[in-house]
Chain A
Amino acid sequence: MLLLFFNFRGLYQNILPGSTLFWRICSSEYQYQSCKMNKIVEKEYFSEAVVKLVIEAPEIARSRKAGHFVIIRVGVKGERFPLTIAEADVEKGTITLIAQKVGVSSIKLANLEEGDYITDVVGPLGKATHVEKVGTVLAAGGGVGVAPMLPIVEAFKQAGNKVITVLAARTKKLIILEEQMRKHSDEVVIMTDDGSYGKKGLVTHGMEEIIKREKVNLAITIGPAIMMKYAALLTKKYKIKTLASLNTIMVDGTGMCGACRVSVGGKTKFVCVDGPEFDAHEIDYDEMLMRLNAYKDKEEKSYEQFIGKYRKA
C-alpha cells in the first residue's frame, strides 16, 4: 500500500509536465544540486601572465555554444567580469576559461589553485555565433583573444568551411592554443611582433597575405580593441564581411546595467545581450577604447594596494 502511494504520488507529479513516466521515476541525475559549484579541476600556465582553468560547471557546459561567455566573481568582495568560454566538456561537466593577469580581479582568479572554488560563475551569456557554411573563413586572433576564437573556429570547421587561422602575439611565449587551433583549422599562420616564432609582423600582415592569395568569404577577429580596429580596416578595404567579438566592462551581463554599451552603426548596443559579436566594420573602436579605460586610474591604485598587501603576506 505504501509502495502504491509513493508510486501514485510520483505518477501525478511526474506526468504533469508531459514527460514520460519511466524517465521521471528512474532519473535523478538532472536534478540541480545545491552543493558548492565551480570547482577548479585543472590549472595550467600558458605563460607567466596567461592561465588556463578548467572548471566544474555542468549546466553551462551543456548549454553553451560558440561565442558565449560567462561572468565570474572571485571572493565576496570581488567584482563581476566577463570571460569567454574557450572549451567545454559535456560529459565531464566542465568549461575551460583562459585569463590574462591584467588587474586585481584577474590576478585573484589566477591565484586560485586546483581544488579551489570560484565564488560565482554565471552563464552562458550573450548571443551564440551564427555558424553556417560560407566557404572560406579567415579567423584572426590576438593575445588571449585566441581563447574565445577556438570554439568559433571549431564550429565553422564542423559546418564544412575551409578555415584559415592567424594567431598573433608580441612574442613566441604568448602564442596560445596553437595545437588545438591546428586540429580544427585547415591552415594556421603564426605572427609575432618580434619574429621569435612564425612570421615577423602584425596580425594584419598575415591576414592580407591570405586575402591576396585566395578568396575569403568571412573574416572573424578577436583580440585587443586596437588590433580589431586595424583588422576591420583591412577587411573593409577588401570588402570582406567581418565579425568582431567584443570584450567590454560588464556588471550583471544580462542587459540590466548598460556598462558594456558600444556604438555600432551609430546606434548604442549592449555587448552582453546584443553581442558579443558585431559587424566589425560598424563598430566605433575609439569610443570602445575610451570606455575600456573608464576605471584605469582606480584600477592602478587598487592594483598597487593589492600587490602591496600580497607582498606583505
Chain B
Amino acid sequence: MESLLAYLKKEREQEWRVELRSKIKNKERTSLERLAMPEVDPDIRNKSYCEVNKGLTEEQAIHEARRCIDCPSPTCIYGCPVGINIPKFVKLIEAGEFLESAKVLKETNALPAVCGRVCPQEAQCEKTCFYNEKLKKSPVAIGNLERFAADYERNSGHISVPEISSHNGIKVATIGSGPASLAFAGDMAKMGYDVTVFEALHEIGGVLKYGIPEFRLPNDIVDIEIEILKKMGVHFFTNFIVGKTATIDDLRKQGYAAFFVASGAGLPNFMNIPGENYIGIYSANEYLTRINLMKAAHDDYDTPVISGKNVAVIGGGNTAMDSVRTAKRLGAKNARILYRRSIEEMPARNEEIKHAQEEGIEFLNLTNPLEYYGDENGRVKGMKVQKMELGEPDDSGRRRPIPIKGSEYEIEADTVVVSVGVSPNPLIPRNMPELEVSAWGTIKVNQDTMQSSIPDIFAGGDIVRGGATVILAMGDGRKAAGGVDQYIKEKVRNILSLIKEFKTIGDILEFATK
C-alpha cells in the first residue's frame, strides 16, 4: 500500500502532469459540466443491432478529462477492482496523448474496451470520485473516457502489445475464457508464463460472447482484445472441457504447474412453477446464447429461436435487461419485464434500465409469475401473475416482496425468458471431490490469493462469486495471477534449495523418480 501511494505521488509529480494541472484553475475545472454519452435514437436502435452508445469524440473526451482535477489522493483508484491508474490515463487524454493513455489502461486491464462499456462505473471508480464524494456533483465520466482511449487506439491501427518479461517457460492453465480467465491470462503472460486457455464452447470470450448482446458490446471488440492476448503468446483451445476432455490430473502430467478455474456460473435457475417446461420458455442463458453465440436471428444460420410478439422476461438484473431489449429488436410488440420488487430495488445498472425504458420496454414491477399456460402443442400462450407489495428489508438489505392475496391476473405471452439468477457450473467441482465448495456449489478460496483447498488450483469469477459482474471477475483474475505467481515462486525456491543439497547422482535420481 505504502509503495503504491509513493508510486502514485511520484507519477503525479512528473513535469508534464504538474504543467497540465497549472494550465487550468481547479475552480474552472469543477465548473465544467459532465458530458452525456451520445446515443443512437431509441426508435432506430430498438430495430437494429447497432451499438447504443456512440462513444465520445476527441473534443468531448478532452473536455471531460479536463474536469478531473488530478487529486493528490486519487480515491477513484480504490473503487477499481483492477486498480487502473485512473488520473494518469485521464490526464494523458487531456494532453491529447490518446495512444499513451490506452497503454496505461493496458498495464492493469487486459480488456479496456470491454470494461469501458460494461463496467458499473457508477458503483465503482465514479462512485469514489472526488466530485461525487466531496462536491456532490456528477463524477468525471471515467468509464466513457476509458472506452474512448481504448477505441481510439483500436481505430488508429497502432494497437500496442503489453511488454512481456522474459519467458520463464512455466506452463499454467486457465479454465474458461470469460473475463476472469482473460484477465488472468494477460497478467500471467506479462510475467513471462506460458499460459493456455481451455474453453468448452467453440468461441473464446465466455459471457462476453454468449451473454452480452452486440448492441451493448460488439463481438469484434472482444475479438480484438483476444488477438492482443494471442500476440502476447497466450494459447487458446476451444472445444476443450477440463474435467471431461482431459482431467486436471492429465494436465498436471503435461507439465501445467497451476490452474485457474474460472468456469463461470453456468447453471440457470428456474422458478419451479407449473408449466415452466412449455415450449417457448427459455432460461436467459439459452435465449441469449441462441441469439448472440449461435446467431439464431440470422436467416442463414441453422440455430432456431422462438421470439414472439408478446415476450415476458422474468427478473430485474442486467441479464434480464439484455434479454428484453433483444426481444424488442427481434420484433416483439410487447416486450415486458416482470419483477417482483419495485424499480428502485432492481439490480440492473441505471443506464440499462434507462435505455430499456427509452426503447419502449414495459415494466411490470411488483409482479411475480405463478403459472404458465400452454396450447395443445405445448407452446406457452400465457401466464398467471400475482401483484406484490414490499415489506421489511431481508438479508440482502432490499425490502422483501410479499404477495397480495386475490391480486392474481392473466397476461398473454408467447415467449418467456426466465432470468432469475444462475448457479455455479457443476462440471469441475463434480469431477474433483477433494475440492472444497460452499452449500451453493461455489468454490471456496482464500480471498487474497484466490487459492482453493487444493494448492495448485486457484479459482475466481462467478464460480466463486455465484453471479457478479465482468469487472469483479477480472479483479479475481488479476488477484489469482498474483497468487499463482507467488505459489510457483515459492515452489521453485523449495526445489532449488533441495537441489543444493544433492551430493550424488543417486540423490538426483531418487528425487526425480519421486
Residues A125 and B257 in contact, CB atoms below 8 Å apart? no
Residues B286 and A124 in contact, CB atoms below 8 Å apart? no
Say which residue of B210, B254, B279, B295 sits within 8 Å of A30 (CB atoms): B254
Closest to B498 in A: A15
28 contacts between A and B (CB under 8 A): A9-B169, A13-B169, A15-B495, A17-B255, A19-B252, A19-B253, A60-B245, A63-B247, A77-B295, A78-B302, A79-B303, A80-B202, A123-B241, A124-B244, A125-B241, A255-B266, A255-B425, A256-B266, A256-B425, A257-B283, A257-B286, A258-B282, A259-B286, A261-B270, A262-B277, A268-B277, A273-B426, A302-B304
Question: Residues 115-132 of chain A: 1 if any B CB is under 8 Å from the residue's CB, otherwise 0?
Answer: 000011111110000000
Say which residue of B171, B256, B272, B286 sits within 8 Å of A268 (CB atoms): B272
Say which residue of A13, A15, A59, A80 sits within 8 Å of B303 (CB atoms): A80
Closest to A274 in B: B426
Question: CA–CA, A59 to B239, complex, Å?
Answer: 11
Residues of A near B266 (CB, < 8 A) are 252, 254-256
Residues B513 and A21 in contact, CB atoms below 8 Å apart? yes
Q: Could you list which residues of chain B lie within 8 angstroms of chain A, going by C-beta atoms?
A: 168-171, 200-202, 210, 235, 237-241, 244-247, 250, 252-257, 264, 266-268, 270, 272, 276-277, 279-280, 282-283, 285-286, 289-290, 294-295, 298, 300-304, 306, 377-378, 425-427, 456, 488, 491-492, 495-496, 512-514
Question: Residues 1-32 of chain A: 1 if any B CB is under 8 Å from the residue's CB, otherwise 0?
Answer: 00000000100111111111110100000111
Question: Residues 272-313 of chain A: 1 if any B CB is under 8 Å from the residue's CB, otherwise 0?
Answer: 010000000000000100110111001100100000000000
Residues A17 and B252 in contact, CB atoms below 8 Å apart? yes
Residues A30 and B378 in contact, CB atoms below 8 Å apart? no
The answer to whether A184 has its CB under 8 Å from any CB of chain B is: no
With A122-B200, A254-B425, A261-B277: A16-B237 Cβ-Cβ less than 8 Å: no
The answer to whether A217 has its CB under 8 Å from any CB of chain B is: no
The answer to whether A251 has its CB under 8 Å from any CB of chain B is: yes
Question: CA–CA, A60 to B246, complex, Å?
Answer: 8
The answer to whether A263 has its CB under 8 Å from any CB of chain B is: yes
Residues of B near A60 (CB, < 8 A) are 245
B427 nearest CB across to chain A (Å): 6
Q: Could you list which residues of chain A lie within 8 angstroms of chain B, going by C-beta atoms?
A: 9, 12-22, 24, 30-32, 34, 59-60, 63, 73, 77-80, 104-105, 108, 119-125, 251-252, 254-259, 261-263, 268, 270, 273, 287, 290-291, 293-295, 298-299, 302
* Given pairs A122-B245, A258-B283, 16 additional interface contacts (CB within 8 A): A16-B495, A17-B256, A30-B250, A31-B254, A32-B237, A32-B240, A79-B294, A79-B304, A251-B289, A252-B200, A255-B426, A256-B267, A257-B286, A258-B270, A270-B267, A293-B279
Question: CA–CA, A299 to B296, complex, Å?
Answer: 13
Residues of B near A268 (CB, < 8 A) are 270, 272, 276-277
Closest to A298 in B: B304
Question: CA–CA, A258 to B288, complex, Å?
Answer: 12
Residues A302 and B302 in contact, CB atoms below 8 Å apart? yes
Residues B267 and A63 in contact, CB atoms below 8 Å apart? no
Question: CA–CA, A18 to B285, complex, Å?
Answer: 39
Residues B245 and A258 in contact, CB atoms below 8 Å apart? no
Closest to B492 in A: A12
Residues B290 and A251 in contact, CB atoms below 8 Å apart? yes
Closest to B298 in A: A77
Say which residue of B289, B377, B513 sits within 8 Å of A252 (CB atoms): B289
Residues of B near A287 (CB, < 8 A) are 277, 378
Q: Is the interface of A mostly helix, strand, loop or mixed?
A: mixed
Question: CA–CA, A124 to B247, complex, Å?
Answer: 12
Closest to B211 in A: A256
Say which residue of A15, A105, A255, A290 sits within 8 Å of B512 (CB atoms): A15
Residues of A near B488 (CB, < 8 A) are 16
Residues A34 and B237 in contact, CB atoms below 8 Å apart? yes
Residues B255 and A14 in contact, CB atoms below 8 Å apart? yes
Say which residue of A12, A30, A270, A302 sits within 8 Å of B253 (CB atoms): A30
Question: CA–CA, A290 to B170, complex, Å?
Answer: 52
Residues of B near A290 (CB, < 8 A) are 279, 377-378
Question: CA–CA, A256 to B422, complex, Å?
Answer: 9
Q: Which of B276, B294, B496 counts the most chain A CB atoms within 10 A?
A: B294
Closest to A32 in B: B237
Question: 8 closest A-B pairs (Cβ-Cβ)?
Answer: A21-B512, A290-B378, A257-B286, A256-B266, A122-B239, A79-B303, A79-B302, A16-B257
Question: CA–CA, A16 to B171, complex, Å?
Answer: 10
Residues B304 and A299 in contact, CB atoms below 8 Å apart? yes
Say which residue of A104, A258, A299 sits within 8 Å of B286 (CB atoms): A258
A165 nearest CB across to chain B (Å): 28
Residues of A near B282 (CB, < 8 A) are 258-259
A123 nearest CB across to chain B (Å): 7
Say which residue of A9, A17, A123, A293 sits within 8 Å of B456 (CB atoms): A17
B504 nearest CB across to chain A (Å): 16
Question: CA–CA, A122 to B425, complex, Å?
Answer: 17
Closest to B276 in A: A268
Residues A294 and B306 in contact, CB atoms below 8 Å apart? yes
A33 nearest CB across to chain B (Å): 10
With A60-B245, A256-B425, A257-B286: A291-B378 Cβ-Cβ less than 8 Å: yes
Say which residue of B168, B300, B513 sits within 8 Å of A20 (CB atoms): B513
Closest to B512 in A: A21
Residues of A near B294 (CB, < 8 A) are 79-80, 251
A68 nearest CB across to chain B (Å): 8
Residues A12 and B302 in contact, CB atoms below 8 Å apart? no
Residues A121 and B201 in contact, CB atoms below 8 Å apart? no
Residues of A near B286 (CB, < 8 A) are 251, 257-259
Closest to A122 in B: B239
Question: CA–CA, A262 to B268, complex, Å?
Answer: 14
Residues of B near A20 (CB, < 8 A) are 512-514
Say which residue of B254, B272, B285, B298 sits within 8 Å of A258 (CB atoms): B285
Question: CA–CA, A129 to B247, complex, Å?
Answer: 18
With A60-B245, A254-B200, A257-B283: A18-B239 Cβ-Cβ less than 8 Å: no
Closest to B257 in A: A16
A59 nearest CB across to chain B (Å): 5
Residues of B near A17 (CB, < 8 A) are 252-253, 255-257, 456
